[in-house]
Chain A
Amino acid sequence: MPVADSPDDLAAALGRLAAGDAASLEQVYQLSAPQVLAICLRILGDRAEAEDALHDTYVRLANNGSRYQGGRGSAIGWLVTMARNLSIDRLRSRRSRGLSVPVAAAESIPDGEPTAEQQLLKQEAATRLDGCLGTLDDIQQGAIRSAFFNGQTYQQLAEERGVPLGTMKSWVRRGLARLKDCLEQ
């Protein structure tokens, strides 16, 4: 399992890519692709489209050069963020073309039940984030998780839970403020 054994290797490979060593892209891919594909699949709910988003992520990385800055979060988190944004772009362009995958189908994708191996490998940052999310109200925590994993907007979250848009916004904003306070403690 190449993903989790070497966060430092991944950061180093991204560094070499940034320095112009194009061949290190393959190493970046080998060290990160399964985890990057996981977020693409979680958001898009369709294997073929998730593989396309994975493809776009690494092609963009090769074209734009790595701008990963070590001090700001983990290397895998940085790649996951890029892949998540590209997946959400795809999701929304699909919605605007009227090709929405039903929510039920998207939710059938395996999500949050980590294996024992993953639990062991889970980084300190993730454990801390889980802990802080746990201090929020269920509805705040649920909305933040849905936004992250399903790419849902305020509007969609409000509709799904049958509350006015303004109410959902203030719940989530209060939740985000508390989350930041907790993470900074």
Chain B
Amino acid sequence: MTERELLAAELALRLLSDEDHAAAAAQLVSDPELARLVAEWDARLAPLAADLPPVEPAPTTWPHIAASVRANSAGNDNRADETDALRRRLRVWQWGSAAAAAAALVVGYLSAPLLERGPGAGGRFDPGAPVLVASLPVGSETGPRLGLTYLPRSSDLVVEAAGVAGDGTHDHELWLVVPGTGPLSMGVIAPGKQARVHLPPELAARVTAGLDVVLTREPLGGAPAGGVAGPVVASGKFSTI
């Protein structure tokens, strides 16, 4: 059996430590062949469960599920509007090259202490707020990375997603993990591209050094509102430069 098949079996059985599992599961994002091998092992092993005596669920469980699904489906309509708005911003702000993103970073960083200008559109300008960066390894520490640069002057987030490949059946969604509040979505990222997203004030106010940020794999269109977020494929922390 090849090393990849063994890894697939380990992923299916969930034998690896959380860290190793997350790193290996992140490979599935860009490796449909590995995903196929995992699905084959899932199918091989699942018949084990046939030995378990069935357990009748509580009578309240189905009504609870049905209510959650209805609530999600109502929420999805609002959520779709929000996602559309983010996508429009992504389209407006999409930058052509890594050089342009780097230039944005340099200009943002240098001009912040020098210019006493007002806030960028929609953002509150704190002249002391530093530029924050986060780097999320996708797959392994040495592999591709999702780079985030937050420019507090304009409340813009520059997303460098060149290392993230789309598989055509999933989207990847970026979340701020705010203590006490839970994850807040920053939207679906565009794989393989650089983008600049303007964060609304309620999100911008939360972006601080030390804040965790995670990338999850979701169905196309992003995680359903109120539902369970998909698996985390990369994580990192904002820090000052």
Query: How extensive is the interface on chain B, given as a class?
Result: 35 or more
A164 interfacial contact with B, CB 8 Å = no
B13 interfacial contact with A, CB 8 Å = yes
For window 159-210 of B, CB contacts with A under 8 Å fall at 169
For window 54-101 of A, CB contacts with B under 8 Å fall at 54-56, 58-60, 62-65, 67, 72-74, 76-78, 80-81, 84-86, 88-89, 92, 96
Supposing A144-B13, A177-B1, A180-B44 touch, asked if A41 and B55 sit within 8 A by C-beta, the answer is yes
Within 8 Å by CB of A29, from B6, B10, B65, lies: B65
Smallest CB separation, B40 vs chain A (Å): 7
Closest to A81 in B: B42
The number of residues on chain A lying at the interface, defined by a beta carbon within 8 Å of a beta carbon of chain B, is 75
Q: Is A77 a contact partner of B42 (Cβ separation < 8 A)? A: yes
Supposing A63-B69, A144-B13 touch, asked if A126 and B6 sit within 8 A by C-beta, the answer is no
Within 8 Å by CB of A77, from B1, B43, B169, lies: B43
Within 8 Å by CB of A84, from B49, B68, B169, B231, lies: B49
Chain B residues closer than 8 Å to A13, beta-carbon distance: none
Q: Complex formed: what's the CA distance from A175 to B225 in Å? A: 42
Q: Is B72 a contact partner of A63 (Cβ separation < 8 A)? A: yes
Q: Is A62 a contact partner of B55 (Cβ separation < 8 A)? A: no
Q: Complex formed: what's the CA distance from A18 to B226 in Å? A: 21
Within 8 Å by CB of B50, from A59, A123, A177, lies: A123
Supposing A3-B54, A63-B227, A147-B15 touch, asked if A129 and B69 sit within 8 A by C-beta, the answer is no
Smallest CB separation, A143 vs chain B (Å): 9
Q: Is A74 a contact partner of B16 (Cβ separation < 8 A)? A: no
* Residues 60-88 of chain B, each 1 if its beta carbon lies under 8 Å from chain A, else 0: 01101110110011000000000000000
Chain A residues closer than 8 Å to B68, beta-carbon distance: 55, 59
Q: Complex formed: what's the CA distance from A180 to B55 in Å? A: 30
B241 interfacial contact with A, CB 8 Å = no
Chain A residues closer than 8 Å to B128, beta-carbon distance: none
Q: Is B46 a contact partner of A59 (Cβ separation < 8 A)? A: no
Smallest CB separation, B173 vs chain A (Å): 13
Closest to A58 in B: B65
B224 interfacial contact with A, CB 8 Å = yes
Supposing A35-B52, A118-B50, A177-B6 touch, asked if A63 and B61 sit within 8 A by C-beta, the answer is no
Enumerate 15 A-B pairs (CB-CB under 8 Å) in ascending A order.
A26-B66, A59-B69, A59-B72, A64-B219, A74-B46, A78-B42, A86-B228, A118-B54, A125-B47, A126-B51, A147-B15, A157-B15, A173-B6, A180-B5, A180-B9
Enumerate the 4 nearest inter-chain pairs by beta-carbon distance, A residue then B residue, closest first.
A73-B43, A77-B46, A34-B54, A126-B47
Chain B interface residues (CB < 8 Å from chain A): 1, 5-6, 9-10, 12-18, 39-40, 42-58, 61-62, 64-66, 68-69, 72-73, 169, 219, 224, 227-228, 231
- Extra contacts, 14 of them, besides A1-B54, A81-B12 (Cβ < 8 A), are A34-B55, A34-B56, A38-B54, A64-B219, A73-B43, A76-B46, A112-B51, A118-B50, A147-B14, A153-B14, A154-B15, A154-B16, A172-B15, A177-B1
Chain A interface residues (CB < 8 Å from chain B): 1, 3-4, 22, 25-26, 29, 33-35, 37-39, 41-42, 50-51, 54-56, 58-60, 62-65, 67, 72-74, 76-78, 80-81, 84-86, 88-89, 92, 96, 110-115, 118, 122-123, 125-126, 128-130, 144-145, 147-149, 151, 153-155, 157, 172-173, 176-177, 179-181, 183
